[in-house]
Structure 1
Amino acid sequence: MLSGCRQFKEVSLTVTGAQSFKDRFPGSKPHDENVPGCSEDATGRFKIPCNVTGLSHVYNLYFVAYVDRIYVYEPQFPSQNIEQEPVLIIDTETKPQSPEDQRHYGRYANRGTRAINRLLVQLLGTEEIIAVARDDGDVEAYYIRHIYSAIEKRAYYDNTLGILGTDVKPFFQRNVGLSAWGLAIHSTARMIAASSNTHATTVFTFALTDGEPEDEIDLSDEDEVYYYAMNEVKPPNDRRKNDVRILAHAQGSQNLPDIAFCNTGNDPAGRWLLTADILGQVATWDVHNLQLIQLVNAALSPPVFSIPSGWMDPRNGVWGLLFLDPLSFRNTETVEEALGISEDQPSVDLQKVKDTAIWDLGRTVDRLENVRRPFKDFGKPVEVKNGNYADPLEMSRQTANVFSSGTTSRRSHSQISSTVEEEEEGESEDRMPEDSDDSDDEVGYDSAEESHVTVQRQDGSLFQVEKPKPGARFRRGESMCGDLPCPILQLSFKDVYLYQPAPNSKAWEHFPMPSMRRLFRQEVPACFESGKFGRINMYAQIPSLGVVIIATQKGRIAILSLTQTVTRMLDYAKQDPTLSPQDRPRMEKRIYGFRVDHMLPLPSQEEAGHRPKAGIHGIAVGPVQGTEHLDDGLKRWRLLVHYQNHAMLAYEIGKPSRDQLDLSLMAI
């Protein structure tokens, strides 16, 4: 970081390790048998998963999904380097679908490969587990304690067990119909949820004995599992039996790449669930009552034209959702410090920003050293096979939505053959979906920004089209999650948004929304121009530090500091469009915000060639070795970044220090 550029202290950051492919596999080539494939399966399909790495918070174990297997490593201290050989490999066969699976998901269940699309490490009750979502629709979960025990057995000198952990079995394995992507665990309520390309989300709830969780879950008798769907009998909430709850709504016709439970302690019973689709729509669900509560579309770059049904919105599709603990937000003295605005930054007009519903703070990142410079290194680009992808963007198979009642409204779309010349290259536009069957009030909030785009006709002539204003639309007047006091972070394809909590359960209370347009904007090699690499679909939290880490598969990671302050802003409950800006009613309000403290890899790491020309395979956060059993406030935290060419970068993240070091000198 350049000294003196910012008037506040960022969280501390230390580079601890960097491994290239040659470091991990000396003398080997990428397609040798001893090198596991990151993305290419046996059929030759190139798959781009979401985050598929994780760190245990109890043991020194690092998990990486290579296509269909889970590799387990023990990182070395202090570099966090990992050995060429894992300490264990977990490989699980598919499970035949049950009669209930057939009834609810039809003949499509178990279609697809065994490739893992997402990996998640989290507590379920008091047990730490690792869960995975697969391309064939399988969702599996393993007790990490059992994995650690299997590793210990293999450490004895007379051990005859192989590295393949055939003795490690999932305690939970169910199928959700089609390719599974979103994965969420509610720790205290003991729930596992998964979204799939059926456009539905399945919530598995585990029985509690006398209202209290047992140490381990008993799924031996699957006949005792009860299924509940929308518009049917509501499930009992005494939690005496295992049940399956399927959430879908009539207009939900898009794939769902991410979902989220609230694990902050503010929703201990697991009532609220968020789902995100590739058109940019966020849905809020009441899991207890199987009700759709709210639908939200937020967009800094709303689509200009509508295009045929079935296409996605390449700018506003949502790929990440996080409930944030309000106690994790650090108090700041000024709104400038809270939002990362430097005194010598005239490009950010704070007063103008505060007169909008969505506060676009993307320019604040420009104060980071060399953050916008082109990415160049001396490495060889990772090979990308265009056209044969398997991910949530793929066209859904032609299957009826059996999870919700009601007829999907038909709407005509005129195909656009013109070219839109904007800051994004060659990306299609799409109209945000409308729900004609929804009779509830719709609440919309727009920012003051207006601009035009140039459109080229087929005959070559040009004309100007007014660009839609950035804004957010709430389908109903109530808030997303009642009076839940937790801010919500939304990661769209290229943008980031933060919803305020709503203490009075009104939609307007979610404003203002501190946001960042095109946070990871950077000139990159042509191999990354595929939109599938550009999405922001990886994230991790360190609540005790007030830090959220997000990443784009193009290869960059941002460390966000969560902040809060009190400032004077628009009173959205009293908005009157006829008033001039200076006459609009205002109010004092506590604002939850964020700022970008660091962008990784550091410039010095790029100069040294430590950032490969490869996409990110996964990011993982966990305690540094030896601090696992300390209170969260005393733990030291490590960040491991795994690239798709097997390169690794490692960092240690800590609280802001008084004597900030020049990080450009700290790269290895």
Structure 2
Amino acid sequence: MAKGADSGGVLQVSKCHCETGRKRHRIPDSVRIPFENLQTTVAQGIVHDDTEDEDGDEDGDEIMEDNQVLDDDDNDNDNNDNDNEEGDNGEVASPGHHFAHPPPPQLPPPIGAPPPLIPNQAPMGIGGAQADLMWMDNLDESDTDEVSEPSTDATQPTLHDSDSESDEEGVPQIATWRLNLTALSTVYNFYAVAYRDKIHISRPRSCVTNVLPTKPDLVLRPGPSHMGIAVGGYLDQFFPHQVNHLIVGDFGDKEILLLAYDDGDVIGFYTRHIEDELLRLEYDDEMRPPRPPKPFFHENVGKSAWGLAVHKQSRIIAVGANTHDVCVFVFALTGELYQHIEEADHVEFFRTLIKDENGVLGNRVISGGEKDNAKFVNGLERAVRRRDANWRIVLKTGSAGDNIPNVAFGSDADGEAEKVVAVDVKGNLWIMDIWGMNKCPHIRLDGLHSTRTPSDRQRLFQWPRELPRAWGVLILPESSFLPTKSYTDSLGLKPREAKYASNEKIGRWIDISTGIKHVKNNSTIHPWVRSGNENRFAINPHVQRRQRLESWYDFNTSSQVQSWSATIDEQGQQRMPLIQAKGKYQTKQKDVDGKLVLGDGSSIMRTYELDIELRSFEENGVGIMFERAIEQDRPANTVLRMMRWSHERLSNLIHVPELSIVVAGSLCGRVALVTLTRPVYENSPFKRGFKIEAILPTKKDEDSQLRPICPLLGVAIAPMPCSGKLGKADEPLGTRGYRLMLHYYDLRILSYEVYRNTATEELSVV
């Protein structure tokens, strides 16, 4: 292990443990598993160790920019740069390989009308973009086998019986193009995974490999509400009641499992009730049938539900939906408490308030004039804050908003929830006041990529129809940031390797994208390319894949950038700090604290398809941008035969305060471990930052054929229930080990142990 004298504690990741779905569920070879369909032909020069999986499945995928042309010279230059950079693991493409070699067989262009859509596989996702289609041009037999079969019972879409499917043969059926569908309880030893409308609950049978039982210990299958039946499906009209997203979170002093459904239902279970039933089943000698617990919460948000957030101290829930709204469920603390009654779910348990994008209450208008109206609104606000009734507060984004895949809560200085922070698929970041009823307008912050102004040629031929979409958001308190003593230890690269942005519209930013070359055991080239198996890709020239030929920011035209970057010395110290005055950045000897964006001084992290952005907790502070964090190079216009479209979405974010990390999972099958940092040395040009310490599966895992070529069903992380060498639950923070589980569409699970010790060393991937 290399020494890094300034780091605040090494983050360590164990060797990968792999369990295939075929082995776990004891599925015979005669039964097909969706997405388990491609074997690997290994090229010479790729070394595999003895951890190779018995099935020989190959590695995962993502998609490069659409219509991007990579000729021999460009590719050679890129590869030479990579090979000569420090920390790039010395990886090279196969001998004689160039991305511009004759491509594999192409999918022919559609003639006339657009080709038909595969009903259950249309990746409309939460984005709803018409470009997100799966073309059916000349699919061969293997292609059709790769696609999960949709329901054919159009007459009774809400009564879809998934028990009749191949579940009975031991192959759980997945819902495709969703968000995170797995979770580990942080209190009890069980793992939850959603398969369409079912939630399988299982106890891992090993503290080392996290192996799961052949059959789940308990299955939850809550039915749809009356409103859910009326709303129907967004991704799947034939089977609407499928899970889009699930999380585990603290709700007061209790932990809950919260689920969002495609028919707009939102359902919550107390994990204590799940644990009680697991214990009963384990110790009941009479082997009585399971009695799945009933949900404590079951509501509907009017359209496909996606973003989920729970606030521990305030005991409220937020849900983002394809209505372009966020619903905040405020539970009564006095008076009549909320209690869901399954037989009467058409009853309104919550009083509804609607606030438009200007913060104006839309429920009632008092005819007595502005004074009477203000009196009414102020009285209503006091009533809501008293919380002697259950309230549903609908925060609308208006015409500027779009579908909302992720939400989070912002707190005030006392730790009570005061804001909802949300992202939509246009890239917008929304900061919305919860309690204020008297003209508290939402704050909308564009995606950073919107600062680019394309030229006429780019506008006609190259520039994307839409800017990168936002998929994830987290609120990160100062206590979660690890103290660091140098620039390099804070951001993962040297000051001269970073880029510096300064703009009146977006403020000051540090681009640390080149730090990807310092991430150990990471591959920036797709494993199929490295192993000479490019022919396994399909070519679809009609995919309107977003192309960004240039960076998110033009670093060459701004004099502000040049003047600011010149103030940063080789130690990463700022000689002359900059402050904002009258809309322009000026130098000053003494820095001035900025106004907090959130009441408690927390930072906001926003993720896009490939990029990670950490906004300053101060309005005039310095933000950090990491572009294309999980991207791997591959030939232009290549797609997976079973996916047909980009599935690069950094949408699965889990904050682990004890380890000072964010687990950032992408639908493409890769997961970044992001360490949050807080420089404590003098004259740092920024106050909070981050660095990517590992990307899983590692290059070694890929070369050992452990990573499957299919999307990620979910990523889950929680403390290890076994103490051993990793520490007991009552030991100091940071000494416990965490289990990290990556669950794929082909049912394979890759498991790691992650922990941070007290040694001052760099990241070690064992």
Give the Cα–Cα distance (whole angstroms) in 1 for the partners of residues 539 and 216 of structure 2: 31
Matched residue, 1:374: 525
Alpha-carbon contact 1:360-1:514 (below 8 Å) kept:
yes
Matched residue, 2:425: 278
How far residue 193 of structure 1 moved from its aligned partner, in angstroms, is: 1.3
Deviations 1:158-202 (A, max 9, x none): 445445x5x321111111111111111111111111111111111
Counterpart check, 1:426 vs 2:526: no
Give the Cα–Cα distance (whole angstroms) in 1 for the partners of residues 625 and 258 of structure 2: 31
Give the Cα–Cα distance (whole angstroms) in 1 for the partners of residues 260 and 250 of structure 2: 17
Which amino acid is the alignment partner of residue 207 of structure 2? F
Matched residue, 2:669: 555
In structure 2, do the counterparts of structure 1 residues 127 and 7 end up closer, same or farther at CA, with 3 Å as the change threshold?
closer
Which of 389, 397, 403 is 1:241 aligned to? 389
Alpha-carbon contact 1:303-1:313 (below 8 Å) kept:
no
Alpha-carbon contact 1:300-1:495 (below 8 Å) kept:
no
Matched residue, 1:331: 483
Deviations 1:46-72 (A, max 9, x none): 621101111101110100011111001
Give the Cα–Cα distance (whole angstroms) in 2 for the partners of residues 333 and 147 of structure 1: 44
Give SS of 2:516's match: helix
Give the Cα–Cα distance (whole angstroms) in 2 for the partners of residues 28 and 652 of structure 1: 30
Matched residue, 1:95: 225
TM superposition score normalised by structure 1: 0.72
Alpha-carbon contact 2:3-2:760 (below 8 Å) kept:
no
Deviations 1:474-505 (A, max 9, x none): x9xx9784443101111112111111112xxx
Counterpart check, 1:196 vs 2:321: yes
Matched residue, 1:77: 207
Give the Cα–Cα distance (whole angstroms) in 2 for the partners of residues 534 and 209 of structure 1: 45
Which amino acid is the alignment partner of residue 22 of structure 2? K
In structure 2, do the counterparts of structure 1 residues 632 and 312 end up closer, same or farther at CA, with 3 Å as the change threshold?
farther
Alpha-carbon contact 1:186-1:262 (below 8 Å) kept:
no
Give SS of 2:385's match: coil
Alpha-carbon contact 2:16-2:751 (below 8 Å) kept:
yes
Matched residue, 1:218: 339
**Structure 1 residues 246-285: aligned runs within 5 Å:** 246-262=394-410, 266=413, 268-285=415-432
Alpha-carbon contact 2:233-2:304 (below 8 Å) kept:
no
Q: Could you tell me which runs of 5 or more consecutive residues in structure 1 were left unpaired when the two chains were aligned.
A: 388-418, 430-444, 452-474, 570-587
In structure 2, do the counterparts of structure 1 residues 567 and 296 end up closer, same or farther at CA, with 3 Å as the change threshold?
farther
Give the Cα–Cα distance (whole angstroms) in 1 for the partners of residues 198 and 645 of structure 2: 26
Give the Cα–Cα distance (whole angstroms) in 1 for the partners of residues 539 and 242 of structure 2: 18
Give the Cα–Cα distance (whole angstroms) in 2 for the partners of residues 370 and 450 of structure 1: 35
Matched residue, 1:126: 253
Matched residue, 1:581: none
Alpha-carbon contact 2:321-2:403 (below 8 Å) kept:
yes
Counterpart check, 1:601 vs 2:749: no
In structure 2, do the counterparts of structure 1 residues 276 and 162 end up closer, same or farther at CA, with 3 Å as the change threshold?
same
Give the Cα–Cα distance (whole angstroms) in 2 for the partners of residues 513 and 130 of structure 1: 33
Give the Cα–Cα distance (whole angstroms) in 2 for the partners of residues 561 and 239 of structure 1: 38
Deviations 1:233-285 (A, max 9, x none): 5542101111111010332441111111137x856321111111111101101
Counterpart check, 1:512 vs 2:612: no
Counterpart check, 1:52 vs 2:177: no
Q: Which has the higher contact order (CA 8 A, sep 6+)?
A: 2
Give the Cα–Cα distance (whole angstroms) in 1 for the partners of residues 175 and 537 of structure 2: 8
Which amino acid is the alignment partner of residue 212 of structure 2? I
Give the Cα–Cα distance (whole angstroms) in 2 for the partners of residues 548 and 85 of structure 1: 31
Give the Cα–Cα distance (whole angstroms) in 1 for the partners of residues 287 and 263 of structure 2: 33
Which amino acid is the alignment partner of residue 487 of structure 1? S
Higher helix share: 2
Higher strand share: 1
Alpha-carbon contact 1:284-1:292 (below 8 Å) kept:
no
Give the Cα–Cα distance (whole angstroms) in 1 for the partners of residues 544 and 487 of structure 2: 34
Alpha-carbon contact 2:12-2:764 (below 8 Å) kept:
no
Give SS of 1:318's match: coil
Deviations 1:371-410 (A, max 9, x none): 34433269999x99999xxxxxxxxxxxxxxxxxxxxxxx
In structure 2, do the counterparts of structure 1 residues 190 and 449 end up closer, same or farther at CA, with 3 Å as the change threshold?
farther
Give SS of 1:537's match: strand
In structure 2, do the counterparts of structure 1 residues 481 and 43 end up closer, same or farther at CA, with 3 Å as the change threshold?
farther
Which amino acid is the alignment partner of residue 24 of structure 2? R
In structure 2, do the counterparts of structure 1 residues 106 and 227 end up closer, same or farther at CA, with 3 Å as the change threshold?
farther
Counterpart check, 1:340 vs 2:492: yes
Give SS of 1:82's match: coil
Q: Could you tell me which runs of 5 or more consecutive residues in structure 2 were left unpaired when the two chains were aligned.
A: 37-119, 122-146, 153-173, 356-360, 363-376, 559-582, 584-593
TM superposition score normalised by structure 2: 0.63
Which amino acid is the alignment partner of residue 389 of structure 2? K
Counterpart check, 1:171 vs 2:296: yes
Matched residue, 2:445: 296
In structure 2, do the counterparts of structure 1 residues 174 and 379 end up closer, same or farther at CA, with 3 Å as the change threshold?
farther
Alpha-carbon contact 2:338-2:349 (below 8 Å) kept:
no
In structure 2, do the counterparts of structure 1 residues 135 and 648 end up closer, same or farther at CA, with 3 Å as the change threshold?
same
**Structure 1 residues 641-660: aligned runs within 5 Å:** 641-656=742-757, 658=759
How far residue 31 of structure 1 moved from its aligned partner, in angstroms, is: 5.7
Give the Cα–Cα distance (whole angstroms) in 2 for the partners of residues 85 and 27 of structure 1: 12
Deviations 1:500-530 (A, max 9, x none): 112xxxx3x2x31111010012035731885
Give SS of 2:441's match: strand
In structure 2, do the counterparts of structure 1 residues 246 and 313 end up closer, same or farther at CA, with 3 Å as the change threshold?
farther
Matched residue, 2:311: 186
In structure 2, do the counterparts of structure 1 residues 14 and 661 end up closer, same or farther at CA, with 3 Å as the change threshold?
farther
In structure 2, do the counterparts of structure 1 residues 136 and 479 end up closer, same or farther at CA, with 3 Å as the change threshold?
farther
Give SS of 1:336's match: helix
Give the Cα–Cα distance (whole angstroms) in 2 for the partners of residues 516 and 78 of structure 1: 33
Matched residue, 2:24: 24
Counterpart check, 1:43 vs 2:151: yes
Which of 1 and 2 has greater Rg? Answer: 2
Which of 258, 262, 265 is 1:138 aligned to? 265
Deviations 1:607-634 (A, max 9, x none): 1111111111111111101458536714
Computed over aligned residues only, the root mean square deviation of the Cα atoms, in angstroms, reads: 4.3
Which amino acid is the alignment partner of residue 95 of structure 1? S
How far residue 106 of structure 1 moved from its aligned partner, in angstroms, is: 12
Give the Cα–Cα distance (whole angstroms) in 2 for the partners of residues 178 and 27 of structure 1: 36
Question: What is the number of residues matched between the two proteins?
Answer: 548
In structure 2, do the counterparts of structure 1 residues 254 and 186 end up closer, same or farther at CA, with 3 Å as the change threshold?
same
How far residue 219 of structure 1 moved from its aligned partner, in angstroms, is: 4.0
Matched residue, 1:287: 434
Give the Cα–Cα distance (whole angstroms) in 2 for the partners of residues 279 and 301 of structure 1: 10
In structure 2, do the counterparts of structure 1 residues 11 and 156 end up closer, same or farther at CA, with 3 Å as the change threshold?
closer
In structure 2, do the counterparts of structure 1 residues 299 and 313 end up closer, same or farther at CA, with 3 Å as the change threshold?
farther
How far residue 353 of structure 1 moved from its aligned partner, in angstroms, is: 5.9
